Amino acid sequence: MFQKSQSKSIQAVKWVSMLTLLVALSGCVSVMSQESTVSNASAQSVVQSAGWSNNVSISFNGDTMTIQSNGVPSHETLDFYAIGNRVINNPTSAQNYSYTLPLQPQLAVTPTNAGAGIIGIAISGAAFFNPYEGDQVTYALEDNFEVNGAPFIDACNGHATPNNGMYHYHGIPYCITDAVDSSGQHSKLVGYLLDGFSIYGPQDVGGGTPTNLDACNGHFGSTPEFPEGIYHYHTSEARPYVPTCYSGEITITQRPPRR
Ligand SMILES: [Zn+2]
Ligand SMILES: [Zn+2]
């Protein structure tokens, strides 16, 4: 009797481990099809050929890259911006950004809210912020206004924080995408979010608008830099304009201190 029940429980253990193995294998396959299988070397060459402006320096160390920038966009900014009911001199000032990101980012099981402040760095050297104003509810682009001809947000979809001069985009960085994108084609890479995944202008393969963006405004697909397909973010004409969350794993050291 004892023998029999023991052998039954061994059988059960065998079945459970078979099932576990199958689940693990199928998980592995689906992860591989959704994630970058590019080598560090090819990821590195994409980063290097991304058209960074002169105020940005990139270095590589094993599985990571470090992006350093003074944060001042390489394109024009305005002399005056509106804030509240006032006009202020352009507050854009030099920063000391340094972010170390994975060359081969991994998708996380659940997205991480990006929160306020810097969420990424553009090839212009300036920052991406989430789409919201300081209240973290109002879409900045939908609340644009002018005071005596000075806009809250400029034609590049950016402006600087009035207190510390951090120039940042709240939407498609038109002053970059107008220079790098071609009609009828998927947008070109315009920067990286702090989880290490790349971000693009608004155009999908064929030049249309992507229809399968996830909650973080990203999808898996072919891009000019990664024709085999890779997970990447888009900036978009419609909400949310820029990502509000990270799809990738992100460690606390990759994220900036709250300002
Ligand atoms: Zn802003
Ligand atoms: Zn895309």
Binned at pLDDT 50, 70 and 90, residue 194 comes out as very high
Nearest ligand, measured from the Cα of 208: 2
Ligand closest in space to the Cα of 204: 2
Ligand 1 centroid, distance to 167 Cα (angstroms)? 8
Q: Residue 195 above 80 pLDDT?
A: yes
Could you tell me the pLDDT band of residue 38, with boundaries at 50, 70 and 90? confident
Q: Please give the pLDDT value at position 209.
A: 98
Residue 221's contacts (CB-CB under 8 Å, 6 or more residues apart) are 186, 204, 205, 210, 229, 230, 232
Give the C-alpha separation, 215 to 234, whole Å: 11
CA of 46 to the centre of ligand 2 (A): 16
> So what's the pLDDT on residue 36?
52
Question: For 207-230, how does the pLDDT look when each residue is reduced to its tens digit (9 = 90+)?
Answer: 999 999 999 999 999 999 999 999
Residue 187 has pLDDT above 70, yes or no: yes
pLDDT tens-digit series, residues 115-150: 999 999 999 999 999 999 999 999 999 999 999 999
Other C-beta atoms lying within 10 Å of the C-beta of residue 25: 10
Mean confidence (pLDDT) of the chain:
88
pLDDT in the model for residue 86:
96
Measured in angstroms, how far is the CA atom of residue 191 from the centroid of ligand 1?
18
Ligand that lies nearest to the alpha carbon of residue 158, given by its number in the listed order: 1
Q: Which ligand is nearest to the CA of 224?
A: 2
Distance 89 CA to ligand 2 centre (A): 37
Q: Per-residue pLDDT for 6 more than 70?
A: no
The mean per-residue pLDDT over the stretch 223-250 comes to 97
Query: How far is the centre of ligand 1, averaged over its atoms, from the C-alpha of 215 (Å)?
Result: 21
pLDDT of residue 251: 79
